[in-house]
Amino acid sequence: MNVQIITSSYPAFTGDPGGTAGLFVEAFAQELTRRGHRVVVQPVKRKTDYAPADGVIVEPIPWEGGDQVLAAMNLYDPRNWRIFWNFFRGGRANTAAIHRKYEIDRTLCMWVIPSGLFGYWLHKDLRKPYDVWALGSDIWKIRNIPVIGSRLINRVVANAAQVYADGQQLAADVTDISGRKCHFLASSRILPVVDDTPPSEDGGRTRLLFVGRYHKNKGPDMLLEALLFLDEKTRKSIQVDLYGLGDLEGQLQACCREHHMESYVTIHGPINAEDLARQLKRAEFLLIPSRIESVPVIFSDAMQCGTPVVSTPVGDLPYFIDKYRCGVVSDGVTPLSYAAAIKGALKGSKRDYTYHVETAYQELSVAHSVEVWLENIRSS
């Protein structure tokens, strides 16, 4: 089968730490090629070429925004309107040309907006089927655009052959907005196999790990506040490493200095896939202190590397953690309740969760998501 994947998320190079959604798209495409399908990925064009991935054809959609991320651009700034207009007008023609060139059998749009619009136009112009996959940030941002937000979502979803979302609650939200049945399908990626030998300089302390954007929604600021509620003995027994990028980085650094947390907290920049796999294997628990969430890719990363999680009760995380018993969920989304969850987790160990984590990953793996998508096409 010839597959066209239209996406606004794709890594600039293999292992690019700039966005986990793009790494999932890459892994999904590579898994399809391993199964004998020809895959053409259409990301947004960058100033520099995308690095070739094994067996995957990359045909970027024209874009005048340089290396600006489409999702991060201000929709209400008139200076961006010409860029958006040319992107959608040129992209409509470009995706149709690529569809014809490679004799595409099925188009998969990641995500609803903007990629789903190209799928809708392909369906309208060429009468070809497309599937659409929703992200939480995709839906939450677009539906808030006055007048047209929900209409755009409805138009894309209503005409899709199959509709997916990377969270259980998100799938229900898409169904509520559009009236179309939306299926949960996990987004994940394949991490490198690495040596998990613990570093000699950690002094025997229990390693805890946070990986995500330094943004209020991901809760790194709440995590630092939670650590201050731990007793001194507990703080001296742990090493907490944070990896990410975002506007809160300066605030996080200032908090560490103000409260003299440098002895047990280290704030890093972004992390590549190989180092992430290594840090996850070394960590006793992955910390997910999010204020709003669906099912983050980092959750399936942790399951892949055998690492249980300590999470706030947001999105689908309580569902999966309860179903698979692969971690601890706090009672609330507050620093105090999250501190209690961390302390409760530290009463056990990583070994207590080994079987449960491995079971969870079977449902969250890229291979599973690809198999479900292909099976739905075969049975439709």
In the chain, what percentage of residues exceed pLDDT 70?
Answer: 93
Res 21: pLDDT = 80
- Can 2-188+365-379 and 200-363 be said to share one CATH topology? yes
Res 49: pLDDT = 84
In 3D space, the residue among 266, 145, 119 whose CA is nearest the CA of residue 201 turns out to be: 266
Q: Residue 129: which pLDDT band, with cuts at 50, 70 and 90?
A: very high
Instruction: Please give the structure tokens belonging to residue 296.
Output: 């983050």
Superfamily of domain 200-363: Glycogen Phosphorylase B; (3.40.50.2000)
Pairing of strands 106-110, 238-243: unpaired
Res 97: pLDDT = 98
Give, as one character, the DSSP assignment of residue 44: B
Give, as one character, the DSSP assignment of residue 189: -
Alpha-carbon gap, residue 98 to 117, rounded angstroms? 16
Neighbours of 226 (CB within 10 A): 25
Residue 257 one-letter amino acid: R
Mean pLDDT of the chain: 90
User: Which numeric CATH code is attached to 2-188+365-379?
Assistant: 3.40.50.2000
Q: 239 by DSSP, 3-state: which?
A: strand
Domain ranges of the chain: 2-188+365-379, 200-363
Query: Poorest-confidence range of 54-63, 164-173, 263-272?
Result: 164-173
Alpha-carbon gap, residue 241 to 211, rounded angstroms? 8
Give 18 or 133, the one with higher predicted confidence.
Answer: 133
Instruction: Please give the structure tokens belonging to residue 214.
Output: 């330094």
Res 291: pLDDT = 95
Sign of CA dihedral 376, 112, 244, 346: negative
Neighbours of 203 (CB within 10 A): 9
Pairing of strands 327-329, 162-165: unpaired
Residue 40 has pLDDT above 60, yes or no: yes
Element (H, E) at 285: strand 285-288
Length of the chain: 380
Q: pTM, whole model, 2 decimals?
A: 0.82
Mean pLDDT value of segment 2-18: 83
Q: Are 27 and 188 in contact (CB under 8 A)?
A: yes
